[in-house]
Structure 1
Amino acid sequence: MLYIDVIVPLPLQGVFTYSVPDSLADQIDIGCRVIVQFGKKKYYTAIIHRIHEDKKLETEIKEIISVLDKYPIVLPEQLQFWEWIASYYMCTLGEVSKAALPAALKLESETHVFLDPEFESQVSFTPNEEKIFYILSDTKPLRISEIEKITHISNAIPYVKSLVDKGAAYISERVKNKYSAKTETAYRLAKDFSDEELSQILDELKRAKKQLQLLYIFLELRHEAGNPPDFYILKKQLMDEAAVTAAVLDSLEEKGILNSFRFEVGRFNSIDATLKPIKDLTPDQSKAYNETNHAFTDKQVVLLHGITSSGKTEIYIRLIQDAIDRGEQVLYLLPEISLTAQMTDRLKSVFGNQLMVYHSKFNDNERAEIWQSLLTKDDCKIVLGARSAIFLPFRKLGLIIVDEEHESSFKQQDPAPRYNAKNASIVLAANFGAKVLLGTATPSIETYYNALEGRFGLVTLSKRYAEIELPEVVPVNTKDLRRRKIMKTILSPPLLDEMKEALSRKEQVILFQNRRGFAPLLECKTCSWTPKCEHCDVSLTYHKGQRVMICHYCGAVYSVPSQCPECQTPTLDVQGYGTERIEELVTEQLPEANVVRMDLDTTRSKRAYERIIADFELNITNVLIGTQMVSKGLDFDNVSVVGILNADSMLNYPDFRAHERAFQLMTQVSGRAGRKNKRGLVLLQTAHPGHPIISFIRNNDYAGFYETQINERQLFRYPPFYRLIEIVLKAKDESLVDSMAGEFGRILRQTFNDRVLGPVKPTVARIQSLYIRKILLKIENQASPSKVREMIDLCHKYVLQNSKYKSVLLYYDVDPM
């Protein structure tokens, strides 16, 4: 009898064994999907992990229901990578499987199915497909379990999959992530004119010189392309080439000479005719490029430490082309893909159809399509993606670029697996024998330490592109200004003066405040009462535009009371400044400014983000107010002033990485100033202008900053000298979570001694009605991760012998950020 071990997408340890009926024995392969029954009524899509003939197994093992694939959709290198993720980050293979696969590839009993109202195909259905098709609705979803109950089909998943493949149905993820392909207007000839007809048209246009010029240029471009019958050109390109207005194009269309149509220029298509050549590198860039290649001869990982606006992207592009020339694939990781429209456009313009973009803004069927394309086609040479792109099925991976490697966004927080894509990409590359390039202006302490120790190669790019000077960073002493009653709002007089000057010169300004909403809290002036979330131990943030208070931890929304519930007086007032309040303040103080705000509230959709960036690039808006979004992946030519409104909030956060993050964030934000035309100015508002971190930022002294941090890390046993494992316990009963945390901490100390810190209450000790306790383990780097995990598992099992702790949620966060 043939048996298989499968990975079921559930948070359960290990793999599960099923038998294979003889009729399906020749269809199975490792990495293929199979439908299995799990429990009495649930069906899941599982991945074959191992095929064997173990005679010792009991005969009542369940059989698989069906095989979904003709070829493996998960490759051996991926399964090996999944196993490492599960082991290192202390989670289950099922959790890794669930995170890795697009939902369209892992149907289950609870998956919601819709009828596609646009389906008009004449394809034939099997009897079971027909039954399901006619009960589906395009407005009301049905779970697969409900479909099985209505149609009396014992396992409907294969038939639902077939309907999805035929375009007759889609699953619920498409509703959650509606995606509109990016399109632009293009023009082609209204019909296939003969040479004689074209000559006659040209004669008739002699009096309309601009129309004649436009048509001449169109025909020239068609001739250069070899006169293909389906030749077209984008509206923007045609207008630029002919230097005419849209009205001229409209006239030719009205005369029936040209036809316009919408052409998709989204993530799956590009127009090779518009591809730009790779730019020549400057001497400094060439030196860094050559040093990087040399470092790759004996190092798998290289750190490219290039200051802001030094042209690291041009080096990336050259290395990508080298990898493509060798027949390899490239993975380009960015911390937040939704914030990097500029990078997408830049790579598209050079590599065209060879580039694919993979992220959560695409609906699930599109992500599944990219997955299948990588498995079956050779067209895709580069994948640009956020952290989840590391799970894609690469076949010839040769290079991974991790841009802005210092970003904490590379770390997945919830749910499991809580992996760090930067660290995981190094393991992934090792599986393929590929290289990893880590690029940043502000390396993480751990990365820079590894580079200095010789584990990574190190290449430095210390000059800005075109010899532009780094911005001048000027601290503004807010404590002194407030003491002298000169500063009455969060905008200091020196900052307002510089903003006015910049706007008078038609230049742009960026203001950075890492807090969204109108104000962090409301407070009663009479009794100091502040509204708090019912489900979390945090105060509510006031959003004036929506006239609501929102919990930024659980998302709960509350109405704003007209008077204080405690003392019944109408003396509620806002305290502090969020981006929304600063937007209002700038509009009042500088009426000539055209202000735009960029934070989570204004960029819910990708289109909104792109519109904000496009307007700022075109100088339609001239003051950009934002959270840390403004520090990531943005390149503006005309920004001369940057204001950092509250440096102290970053410097005083209770975390051992606080100074590192403050240095990185403020340096990155500062780098947005004066990038092309002239030296920029950064005004850094702080009550402590003498703080050493501010001095390092002013002097762009990363080496000095690193020295102070690395000494502290070694003294207090933090990374890179120790590994951290955070154990998080959550329960609705506070006394229960306290009891289990205390017991678990006591048992851990018997094994790990003083390496155990806690349990402690975190800064926010209750979220979504769950009380939280944390235990921190500091483990020497030399310790075996598998042995550490084994010892922790033993302690965990010992504590769980007490049945009252079964309801406590416990998980591990390895290398927490």
Structure 2
Amino acid sequence: MPSKARLYAEVILPLPLFGTFTYSIPTTLEGKAAVGHRVIVPFGRKKYYTGIIESITPVAPEEFEVKDISSVLDPWPVVKHPQLKLWEWIAEYYLCTAGDVYKAAVPAGLKVESETFIELNPDYEEIPDARMTDREAIIMQSLDHNGKMTPAEISKKTGLNSIESTISSMVERRMLIIAEKLIERYRPKKETLVRLAVDRNDNEAMHKVFDAVKGAKKQEMMLITLLDNLNKRQQQQLPPEVPRQHLLEQSGLSPAILAALASKGIVEIFTREINRFNYTGTEQGELPKLSAPQSEALDSIHRMFIDKNVTLLHGVTSSGKTEIYIHLIDYILKKGSQALYLVPEIALTTQLTRRLQKVFGKRVIIYHSKFSDNERVDIWKRMLHDPSPCVVIGARSSLFLPFSRLGLVIVDEEHESSYKQFDPAPRYNARDCAIVLASMHGAKTLLGSATPAIETYYKALNGRYGLVTLSERYEGVQLPLIEIVDLNDERRRGRISGPMSARLAMMSREAVKGGEQVILFHNRRGFAPVVVCKQCGYVPKCQNCDVSLTYHRKAGEMVCHYCGATYKLPTICPACKEPAIEVYGYGTERIEEIAESSFPGARIMRMDLDTTRNKDSYLNIINDFSLGKADILVGTQMVTKGLDFERVSLVGILNADNLINFPDFRASERAFNMLEQVAGRAGRRNKRGLVIVQTSQPAHPILSYLQAHNYEGFYEHELEERRRYGYPPFTRVINIYLKHRDEDLLIKAAAGYAETLRHLFGNRILGPDEPHIARIQSLYIRKIMLKVEIQASMSKVKAILRSVYEAQMADKSLRSLVVYYDVDPM
């Protein structure tokens, strides 16, 4: 009888390597390994990784010997077919590897990896007269005392730095050995429960139970407390089991008493894995009432969805887009489908979650990067095993969840650059990926914005997307009045003190005095962005990046906002040795301090990256400001994105020039969008708001469109500029970045790279150029821009770029050159 043919799996590994890797499926695992399953596979000499099976084939590879899959981790796939198709599309379109996508998509808690451990070699015999160095002796002593450790742990325990070469030498001399240990990061949350071991309805059995505790008053008290809880749970139609901790707290008795009941066979104590996210609030189920314009817009969206898979809702700020979203979600859930509600910032999930939970209760699922690995794995598992209707609200990573019945995707504030992943790969735009995801599920996509991206509005006007317009604010509230303050004129007249003009300071005082709230927007965090010696002009720069350092007073140090390196503020200038170091400019930390002294008695809060590092800090700041616990909120772009504060009557934009003057073809669009969005925070209820924009360029065309809230006029102006110079939506832009530690080698390599590309793509290639920041984390950077026609095949472009890369890497001197691509840069 012929032997059964072996099966082979193509496996995606969480590594930035092109292609999949072939492994044979041992006969013991046949039937257990299928597409989407997690498998442990060997890679390299001693490493093990968690791979995802992409496909299975009976065809054996001819060119190399394959290794076996070591084990299958789950009895079910953890990644579904539409997810794998989405990964494939992202890798293809954004010119990265499937491993890059896998690493970004799946929570780290689901990726078991091997970690290098060092331990003493038990067979090592010390050679007479062979002296150990002090470093080696310290390492040997530490391993003898602590057992196997990672290099990082050895360094921490011993206090020795740069120990890799020492360990390598000791391994070569067989003093130490390397062991690989598989690390499982995920830890399920478990709850200990108590249930009665007999039937409560069996009178004879219950008599015996009470006889068994007769004379043991504490045991009897514990039993009565348990029965009381079980009766309450029966009335609420809940399972007949009580959390152990709750029972102990209610009875006021010790665990030993409960253990005594268990030993007598009266109760059973057991543990169960539970979900970390249980909504405990009240589900009211009431949909928000819609105004006539909102109802009309909702009807128009439904009509658009008949013919269009994607529709743009262009609604001015505070027009009530969220209420329309809620009605659409309700419609989808009633159909038995799932909805995905994408927001650009984690901060937005806090306000929106409360609004959604009041309507949909436990059917609301939150997912974003502030959650721990364990929390993200719990949500992943819920989505994997529970196909019931739900709405997922989250930032860009939530589009990777394993949806079963996706019926609607909402992308709120679709223009936001926060949807774009910059580093590391995949450098994807969640908005565009969400559209592809929806199409793969046969779902509809709704894009919402007061200031749509130029490309999005272009597609809507040209019929590729549906277009619905909501041109008035909810309940007829007027759009805010925008006032331009010329900073040059203010300085000449001596009417500016620090970062605020006299006009802004006066209106802020009036607003606070009248019980209203103020937002001061400045898109630079820290205390002061410039540190300089006033004697010789020396400016401290980051040792790793080509940027000046920002002073943070609270931390008492200078920080590089690109690599995170910190430095002490020098008291003596390192260049001229004079005590002449000064700080200039304004960051949000300094503006907060100035506001405290300028508005005595006013309560000030700050919202930026430094104040929102903790998981709950967003929620706390938003809640406190919403409840009126502060009068003035100082913030970066975080305050611009859809937050709803009903008592804000004044918004001050301290320096619009920071947004306008940026060397990038999207600078005008970004500036207009951000200014219009932050302006939209003012006057959102029964009073017209005021926005004061401070600038040294009052005649800039963006500001005239902003004053008139004229998005259409801005769009036409910007579109003509893009048409003239051949930028999106008329072309597709791909930035090719090259990085190397040696600047001279990089300059030569970038020139050769660009020349090769120019032979293939002609005048579609621009550069190489030195970017705005030319060195980050000790790597020098050059940029080559490729403009390709919209109809160009990305797979063909990728193939050409890949062949050029491989040809360039044939030069051994360029092996350490880093090359990556940014498709559709923001």
Instruction: Give the TM-score normalised by structure 2.
Output: 0.81
Is 1:103–2:103 an aligned residue pair? Answer: no
1:769 maps to which residue?
Answer: 778
Task: Give the 5 Å matches for 1:577-592.
Answer: 577-592=586-601
Match of residue 18, structure 1, among 1, 23, 29: 23
Q: CA deviation at 1:55?
A: 4.5
**What per-residue deviation string (whole Å, max 9, x for no partner) do you get for residues 783-817 of structure 1?**
11111111222222222221111111111111111
Q: CA deviation at 1:153?
A: 13
2:455 maps to which residue?
Answer: 446
Distance 2:568 2:550 in 1: 11
Is 1:398–2:403 an aligned residue pair? Answer: no
Cα separation, partners in 2 of 1:162 and 1:525, compared to 1, 3 Å: closer
2:810 maps to which residue?
Answer: 801
Distance 2:22 2:235 in 1: 61
1:6 maps to which residue?
Answer: 11
**What per-residue deviation string (whole Å, max 9, x for no partner) do you get for residues 212-254 of structure 1?**
xxxxxxxxxxxx99964989xxxxxxxxxxxxxxxxxxxxx99
Q: CA deviation at 1:609?
A: 2.1
Task: Give the 5 Å matches for 1:192-211.
Answer: none
What's the Cα RMSD here? Answer: 3.0
1:570 maps to which residue?
Answer: 579
Structure 2 contact 8–60 (Cα < 8 Å) conserved: no
1:68 maps to which residue?
Answer: 73
SS in 2 for 1:807: coil
Q: CA deviation at 1:435?
A: 0.5
1:284 maps to which residue?
Answer: 293
Cα separation, partners in 2 of 1:640 and 1:59, compared to 1, 3 Å: closer
Q: CA deviation at 1:166?
A: 8.9
2:163 maps to which residue?
Answer: none
SS in 2 for 1:563: coil
Is 1:324–2:333 an aligned residue pair? Answer: yes
1:87 maps to which residue?
Answer: 92
2:377 maps to which residue?
Answer: 368
Structure 1 contact 527–567 (Cα < 8 Å) conserved: yes
Q: CA deviation at 1:316?
A: 0.2
Distance 1:97 1:442 in 2: 32
Q: CA deviation at 1:554?
A: 0.8
Is 1:467–2:467 an aligned residue pair? Answer: no
Distance 2:572 2:682 in 1: 44
Is 1:751–2:757 an aligned residue pair? Answer: no
Q: Which amino acid aligns with 2:304?
A: A
**What per-residue deviation string (whole Å, max 9, x for no partner) do you get for residues 385-432 of structure 1?**
111111111111111000110000101111111111101111111111
Is 1:275–2:274 an aligned residue pair? Answer: no
Match of residue 46, structure 2, among 25, 41, 46: 41
Q: Which amino acid aligns with 1:4?
A: A
Q: Which amino acid aligns with 2:474?
A: Y
Q: Greater shift after overlay, 372-381 or 680-689? A: 372-381
Q: CA deviation at 1:457?
A: 0.4
SS in 1 for 2:114: coil
Is 1:51–2:60 an aligned residue pair? Answer: no
Distance 1:518 1:659 in 2: 27
2:516 maps to which residue?
Answer: 507
Q: CA deviation at 1:298?
A: 0.5
Distance 1:89 1:314 in 2: 34
Aligned residues: 706
Task: Give the 5 Å matches for 1:153-164.
Answer: 157=182, 161=184, 164=187
1:783 maps to which residue?
Answer: 792
Q: Which amino acid aligns with 2:553?
A: K
Q: CA deviation at 1:567?
A: 2.0
Q: Which amino acid aligns with 2:531?
A: L
**What per-residue deviation string (whole Å, max 9, x for no partner) do you get for residues 765-800 of structure 1?**
011111001100011112111111112222222222
Cα separation, partners in 2 of 1:801 and 1:55, compared to 1, 3 Å: closer
Structure 1 contact 33–73 (Cα < 8 Å) conserved: yes
Task: Give the 5 Å matches for 1:228-627.
Answer: 228=236, 268-271=277-280, 273-379=282-388, 381-627=390-636
Q: Which amino acid aligns with 1:28?
A: A
Q: CA deviation at 1:747?
A: 0.2
Distance 2:453 2:384 in 1: 34
Q: CA deviation at 1:275?
A: 2.4
Cα separation, partners in 2 of 1:266 and 1:510, compared to 1, 3 Å: farther
Q: Which amino acid aligns with 1:83?
A: E
2:218 maps to which residue?
Answer: none
Q: Which amino acid aligns with 2:795?
A: S
Distance 1:162 1:658 in 2: 42
Q: Which amino acid aligns with 2:43?
A: F
**What per-residue deviation string (whole Å, max 9, x for no partner) do you get for residues 141-165 of structure 1?**
899xx9xx9xx999864xx659946
SS in 1 for 2:30: helix
Distance 1:675 1:135 in 2: 63
Gaps of 5+ in 1: 113-133, 169-223, 232-252, 255-264
Cα separation, partners in 2 of 1:656 and 1:598, compared to 1, 3 Å: same
Structure 2 contact 349–394 (Cα < 8 Å) conserved: no
Is 1:650–2:659 an aligned residue pair? Answer: yes
Q: CA deviation at 1:379?
A: 4.1
Structure 1 contact 517–578 (Cα < 8 Å) conserved: yes
Cα separation, partners in 2 of 1:58 and 1:649, compared to 1, 3 Å: closer
Structure 1 contact 32–73 (Cα < 8 Å) conserved: yes
Q: CA deviation at 1:447?
A: 0.4
SS in 1 for 2:633: strand
Q: CA deviation at 1:453?
A: 0.7
Cα separation, partners in 2 of 1:485 and 1:803, compared to 1, 3 Å: same
Q: CA deviation at 1:750?
A: 0.2
Distance 2:762 2:298 in 1: 48
Structure 1 contact 330–398 (Cα < 8 Å) conserved: yes
Task: Give the 5 Å matches for 1:117-156.
Answer: none
Is 1:639–2:648 an aligned residue pair? Answer: yes
Cα separation, partners in 2 of 1:155 and 1:29, compared to 1, 3 Å: farther
Structure 1 contact 615–621 (Cα < 8 Å) conserved: yes
Is 1:718–2:727 an aligned residue pair? Answer: yes
Distance 1:142 1:10 in 2: 26
Structure 1 contact 21–64 (Cα < 8 Å) conserved: yes
Structure 1 contact 353–379 (Cα < 8 Å) conserved: no
Report which of the two structures shows the higher radius of gyration computed on alpha carbons. Answer: 2
Q: CA deviation at 1:574?
A: 1.8
SS in 1 for 2:781: strand
Distance 2:24 2:548 in 1: 55
Q: CA deviation at 1:17?
A: 0.8
Gaps of 5+ in 2: 1-5, 118-145, 156-166, 168-173, 192-231, 240-250, 253-273
Distance 2:284 2:514 in 1: 35
The alignment-based identity, stated in percent, is 52
Cα separation, partners in 2 of 1:481 and 1:163, compared to 1, 3 Å: closer
Distance 1:680 1:728 in 2: 44
SS in 2 for 1:759: strand
Structure 1 contact 512–642 (Cα < 8 Å) conserved: yes
Distance 1:337 1:142 in 2: 37
Structure 2 contact 276–378 (Cα < 8 Å) conserved: no
Structure 2 contact 483–707 (Cα < 8 Å) conserved: yes
SS in 1 for 2:482: strand
Structure 1 contact 638–677 (Cα < 8 Å) conserved: no
Q: Which amino acid aligns with 2:705?
A: F
Distance 1:689 1:64 in 2: 66
Structure 1 contact 338–361 (Cα < 8 Å) conserved: no
Cα separation, partners in 2 of 1:63 and 1:734, compared to 1, 3 Å: same
Q: CA deviation at 1:486?
A: 2.0
